Amino acid sequence: MSSQFQVVGTRPVRHDGADKVTGRALYGADIQLAGLIHGFVLRSPHAHARIKRIDTSKAEAFPGVKAVITAADFPVTPDRIVDLGEGDTPLSYVRGNMLASGKVLYKGHAVAAVAATNVHIAEEAASLIEVEYEPLPCVLTAPDAMKDGAPILHDDLRMKELGEATDKPGNVAEHFRHVKGAVEDGFQLADKIIEREFSTATVHQGYIEPHNATALWNNDGRVLVWCSTQGSFVVRDVTACVLDLPVSQVKVTPMEIGGGFGGKIPVYLEPVAALLSKKSGRPVKIVMPRQAVLEATGPTPGSSIKVKIGATKDGRFTAAQATLAYEAGAYPGSMVGPGAMCVFAAYDIDHITIDGYDVCVNKPSTAAYRAPGASNAAFATESVVDELAETLGIDPIELRLRNAAKEGTRRADGPKYRKIGCVEVLEAMKNHPHYKAPLEGPNRGRGVAVGFWFNVGLPSSVNIAVNADGTVNLVEGSTDIGGTRTSIAMQAAEVLGLPAESVLPSVVDTDSIGFTAVTGGSRTTFATGWAAHDAAQDVVRQIKERAAALWETTADKVKHSRGVYSCNGKSATFAELAAKLGETGGPVVGRAAINPRGVGGSFSGVITDVEVDPDTGKTTILRFTSFQDAGRAIHPSYVEGQMQGGSVQGIGWALNEEYYMSADGVMQNSSLLDYRMPTSLDLPMIDTHIVEVPNPAHPFGVRGVGEANIVPPPAAIANAIYRAAGVRMRRLPMNPPAVMEAVWRKP
Amino acid sequence: MKWFDYSAPSSLSEALKLLRENSQALLLAGGTDLLVQMRAGRKQTDLVIDIKNIAELNQLVLDASGLRLGAAVPCYRIYNHRDIARGYPALSDVASLIGGTQIQGRASIGGNLCNAAPSADAVPLLIALGAICRIAGPSGERTVPVEEFCTAPGKTVLKQGELLVSLHLPPPKPHSGAAYLRFIPRNEMDIAVAGAGVSVELNNGNFQSVRIALGAVAPTPLYAKQAGDSLAGKPVNDACIQTAAELAKAAASPITDMRGTAEYRRHLCAVLTARALKQAIQRAQEAK
Ligand SMILES: Cc1cc2nc3c(=O)[nH]c(=O)nc-3n(C[C@H](O)[C@H](O)[C@H](O)COP(=O)(O)OP(=O)(O)OC[C@H]3O[C@@H](n4cnc5c(N)ncnc54)[C@H](O)[C@@H]3O)c2cc1C
C-alpha cells in the first residue's frame, strides 16, 4: 500500500495544533461583543411537577437585569411535527426542552432565563423568580415507567406499536420489532441456550467544555449566534424553527468545540439567548454551569436488556432474541433504534427477533453518545456469547469467528452487508501478541468482545480556492471535534498532489458554505472528506484548462500526476500554474456539494486484562488493546486517538460512571468530582491495532472510525472480571461495591 | 455567587477583632472547600477573612516538643519538608493525597479539619497521631484533642469568634510508625469511601500502644479507641491485626450513599485498618 498514496496514511501535524496547544483557539465562552450581557437559566428543583404560576416581576425589577423570559416568550404558533435532523418530533417538545411550559419533567429542566450586566446578578435575579410547583410522583427507570399505574410524563403521548399509531397512553413512545427467520424454530436447533438480563446506568458523554451560546438579535431582524456545536446548520435550523424565522434569518458561527461525542447535537441555549437578546436589545452570552451540563443536557439512556442466544455443540449460533427497553428521558427518542440494529450486528444468525421499547422517564432528555445505544446492547450480547464460549468449551474469539457477519449477511433490521471487516478484526485479535501473551498472577483475567457501529452519509459541502503561492484554502461546514479539519484537508491534498500543509482548512459559519449535516455518525472524514476529494478534482479540472490555455491545447490533452501538469513534453507544477491564474482567466475555485451513499460500517474489538482486588472489589485495567476496521486510515494518529478515546469512555462507562439518582429524581453526583470519569492515573496505555478493509464505495476506502471503538469495552471488561473474580457482572457500572457484593453473593 | 468583602489581616489579634465584629464572617485558609461551597450557594457571607497572612497560622516548627503546624500551612510545604518526611512520613502521605498538585498549593490541614467533613483525609491520621488543636478566641486560648474537635458534619467545637491557630503533634516515639489509607474507586481526585489512620508503638515484637481512627464511616471522623487498645501488649501477628480490624469495623456507623453502601463501607473499615496497621508496623520496625 506504501506507494499508492502520498498524503493519505501519513501523520502530518494538525492544522489547528498550534492554536490549541498555545491556548489561542477561540471557544464559545471567549466571545466578547460590544454591549455583551450575560444570561442565567433558572432550573427546576423537581423531577416532575406542574408549573402553576411563574412570577418574574421581582427579577425584572432587580438592578442590572435587562431581560427575563419564560416559555411564554416563544412565538405563538400551532404545534406541528418537525424533523430537525433527528426524526419527527412535535415542535412543542423541542421548545419544551428549552423552556418548560405546563410541566417540568426532570430536575434541572429550564423554566426561565435572565439576562443581566453580569452573571452573578443574573443568577441572583433568577433566584427571585417565583415558580409555584405542584410536585408530581416521578418515575426513573424504563421497567418502572412501563408498569401500569406509573406516573405519566406526557398526557398526549400515544404509543406507536409495530409501525402503527395506537391510542395507548403511557410512557412507552414506541414498541418496534425486527424479525428474521423464525426464532422459535432456530432455538429448536440449539444444543445450548443462554438467556440473561442486563441493565446499564445513565451515563454522560463528559465533554470538558460546557454548552454555551451567544446570540445577537440584530436590528435588521437577523439572529447571529456563536456557539459550541457539532452541527452549525442544526443550530441554525432548530433556532429558526423554534423562533418561527426563515432559516436565512439565522447565522450560526461555530466556535472551537471542547468535546461533543454526540451531546453537542441537541440545541438548548441558542434560542434562549436569542430571545433574551431580542428583549434586551443586547448580545447575550450563556455558559452552562457544570451541574446543569450533567442534570439538563442529554446523557445516554440507561437500559434494561434481555438477550437469549442458542448454539449447537460445535458453536454455531442457531437463533437469537433480544428485548431492549431504553430510557428516552423526558421526551421520546432514546437510542433504542440503533441499539436494536446493533445488538446482533456482528453475527450471521438465521433466526432473530428483536423487540425495542422507547420509554419516557423523569430524567434529562437523552442524546447521542458515541455509537449511541450500541454499547448497552453489546454489553448484553457479548456477555452471553462469552458465557456460551465457556459452556461449549470453545475459545471466545474462535466462537465469534465461527459466527462472524460477512459480506452478504443480512441484519435482522433488513440491510445486507457489503464488504465489511468483522472477520478481519477477529483474526487480528486472535493473532495479536496480547492474546497470545500469558496472563499470570492471582485475581487476574482476560476478556474479549467485539462491536459494530454504522457510518452515515448525509450532505456535505466544500469549497477550495487556489492561492497564487501554490496553496489552497479549503472551506467546510463540518465542525471539527476529532481532527477532521486535517483528515479532510489530506484527502484534498492527495487529489491535488500537494503536501497536507499546503491545504489550509477552515470551518466557517452557515452563511459561508453550503449546507453540511452534523458532525456525527462517524460521517465527517467519510462524507466531507469525499466532498473535499470531489472539490479537489474540480480544481484539477480547472487547472488543466488553465494549463491548456497557456500551452495552446485542450484540457483533455493535459495530464495530471502528483501535482505536476504536463502535455507534449511541457510541464508545470501546481504552484507554477497557480502563480499564473491572473493571466489565464482569473481565480480558480473548486466546489463540491454531495449527499453520498455507500457508507461502510465499522467493526471493533477489545482484548483487556484486569486485576480485581478481592478485598475491595476494585478493578484495575492492566492491559487494553483496541482493534478497529478503519477502512482506510487517512491520518493513522487520529484513528488511534479515536480508538483510545472511545476505549477510555468505554472503561469509564464500565467501571464507575453513572447517574446516581435519589428516589425523588435528583442526581446526587452532578459534579466532575463525584461523576467518576477515569483520570489518567486510572488507565494503562491504550494499545491500538488498525485493521484496514477499504470501503469499496469511498474514493479512499474510508469507514467512519469515531464510534465503534466505544462498543466493546464494557463487555470485554465484564468478561475479564469474570475470569479474575468468578462473578458475571450484568449491571453497569461494575464499580467496587457492585463487584464486592457480587463476590459476597457468589454461590 | 453574591458579592462579599475581603479582608486579609496580618496579625492574630486583628483577625480575632474582625471575627468578633462580624458574626457572619467566614475564614479562608486555602479556600479549596470554602470557595467551592460559596459558589454552590451552600455558604453565604458578607465578609471573608483570609488567614494566610498571619504568622502563627503559617508556622511549621519541628523541635524536641514535636511538630507545631500552623492551621493555614498549605500541603505542599508539608510534603516538601525533609524532617517531616522523616519524622512523620504518614503526614507527608496525607498532604500529598489531598486533591492534586494545584489544590495542594493552597489547601491546609487546618482547613481540612475545620471543614469537618466526615471524609476529611487528614483527620483520622491526626487523631491516630494524638494531635492537639490550639484554639484562640475572645476569651483567650484553649486546647482540644483532635478527636473531640468535630461534632457533626460541617460542625466543630469552635465557638463564635474562635479560630484554629495550630495543631501540635507529639514527637515520634522510638519504634513507632503511622499510616493512613483511604479507599477511592478512582486512583486520584476522589472523596474517601472509607479511610483508616493508625499509629503503632512497638516493644520487642509486641504492640506497646496503638491508636486507630476511621474516616467517612460516621458523622465525624471516628476515634476507634477500643480497636487500638485491644492490641496493647499483644504480639504483632495477623490474628491480632485481624481482631483489631474487626473491632474497628464494629465501631463504624456508616450510611449508604453514592459513594458506597453501609455494608460495603463497614467491610472496608476492616480491610483498610488491617492494611494500614501493616504499613505502620513496617514503618515502626524500620524506625530507630
Ligand atoms: C479538586 C478538589 C479535590 C479535593 N480532594 C480532597 C481530598 O482528596 N481529600 C480531602 O480530605 N479533601 C479534599 N478536598 C477538600 C479540601 O481541599 C480540603 O479539605 C482542604 O484541606 C481544605 O483546606 P483549605 O485550606 O483549602 O480550607 P478552606 O476552604 O480555606 O477552609 C475550609 C473550612 O474551614 C474553615 N477554616 C479554615 N481555616 C480555619 C481556621 N484556622 N480556623 C477556623 N476555621 C477555619 C473555613 O471557614 C471553611 O469553612 C478537595 C477539594 C477540591 C476542590
As for the ipTM of the complex, it is 0.95
Q: What is the pLDDT of residue B3?
A: 86
φ and ψ of A589, to 5 deg: -130, 125
Q: What is the pLDDT of residue B262?
A: 96
> Distance (Å, rounded) from C-alpha A398 to C-alpha A327?
34
Sequence-distant (6+) residues with CB within 8 A of A219 are none
> Distance (Å, rounded) from C-alpha A744 to C-alpha A633?
46
Q: Are A696 and A513 in contact, with CB atoms under 8 Å apart? A: no
What are A339's strand-pairing partners? none
- Residues from chain B contacting residue A45 (CB–CB below 8 Å): none
In order of A142, A305, A333, A682, the CA distances from A357 in angstroms are 9, 10, 10, 35
Q: Do domains A31-136+208-259+264-296 and A303-455+599-745 have the same CATH topology?
A: no
CATH topology for A303-455+599-745?
A: Aldehyde Oxidoreductase; domain 4 (3.30.365)
Residue type at A694?
Answer: P
> Distance (Å, rounded) from C-alpha B184 to C-alpha B272?
11
Q: What cell numbers appear for A616 in the block? A: 475491595
Burial class (CB in 10 A: 0-12, 13-18, 19+), A591: middle
Indicate the residue of B188, B191, B260 with minimum beta-carbon distance to A679.
Answer: B188
What parts of chain A have a pLDDT lower than 70?
1-3
- Residues from chain A contacting residue B189 (CB–CB below 8 Å): 673, 679
CATH topology for B55-169?
A: 3.30.465
Q: Does A676 touch chain B (CB under 8 A)?
A: yes
Distance A203 CA to ligand 1 centre (A): 29
Write the class of the CATH domain B176-283: alpha beta
Q: What is the pLDDT of residue A598?
A: 86
Indicate the residue of B2, B188, B258 with minimum beta-carbon distance to A124.
Answer: B2
Domain ranges of chain A: 17-25+457-594, 31-136+208-259+264-296, 303-455+599-745
User: Which of A376, A410, A381 has the alpha carbon at shortest distance from A320?
Assistant: A381
Domain ranges of chain B: 5-50, 55-169, 176-283
B288 pLDDT tier (thresholds 50, 70, 90): low
Q: What is the pLDDT of residues A62-119, one digit of tens each?
A: 999 999 999 999 999 999 999 877 778 999 999 999 999 999 999 999 999 999 999 9
> Distance (Å, rounded) from C-alpha A614 to C-alpha A721?
11
- Residues from chain A contacting residue B257 (CB–CB below 8 Å): 668
Q: What is the pLDDT of residue A2?
A: 47
Round to the nearest angstrom and report the end-to-end CA distance of chain A: 54
Q: In CATH, what number does B5-50 get?
A: 3.30.43.10
Q: A31-136+208-259+264-296 belongs to which homologous superfamily?
A: Aldehyde oxidase/xanthine dehydrogenase, a/b hammerhead (3.90.1170.50)
Q: What is the pLDDT of residue A3?
A: 62
> Distance (Å, rounded) from C-alpha A383 to C-alpha A379?
6
CB contact under 8 A, A681 and B264: no
For domain A17-25+457-594, which CATH number applies: 3.30.365.10, 3.40.50.10320, 3.10.20.30, 2.170.8.10? 3.30.365.10
Q: What is the pLDDT of residue A1?
A: 44
Q: Are B109 and B197 in contact, with CB atoms under 8 Å apart? A: no
CB contact under 8 A, B189 and A673: yes
**Residue B149 scores a pLDDT above 50:** yes
> Distance (Å, rounded) from C-alpha A514 to C-alpha A103?
39
User: Quick check: CB of B29 below 6 Å from ligand 1?
Assistant: yes
Q: pTM of the predicted model, to two decimals? A: 0.97
B213-238: average pLDDT? 98
Identify each DSSP E strand in chain B by its residue range: 5-7, 26-28, 47-50, 60-63, 66-70, 132-137, 140-145, 150-152, 155-156, 163-169, 176-183, 194-203, 206-215, 222-223
For A739, which residue in chain B has the nearest alpha carbon?
A: B264
Q: Which residues of A30-50 are buried (b: 16+ CB within 10 A; e: fewer)?
A: ebeeeebbbbbbbbbbbbbbe
Planar angle of CA A388, A391, A393, nearest 5 degrees: 100
Identify each DSSP E strand in A361-469 by its residue range: 444-453, 460-466
User: Which of A471, A313, A328 has the alpha carbon at shortest distance from A393?
Assistant: A313
CB contact under 8 A, A676 and B190: yes
Burial class (CB in 10 A: 0-12, 13-18, 19+), B205: exposed
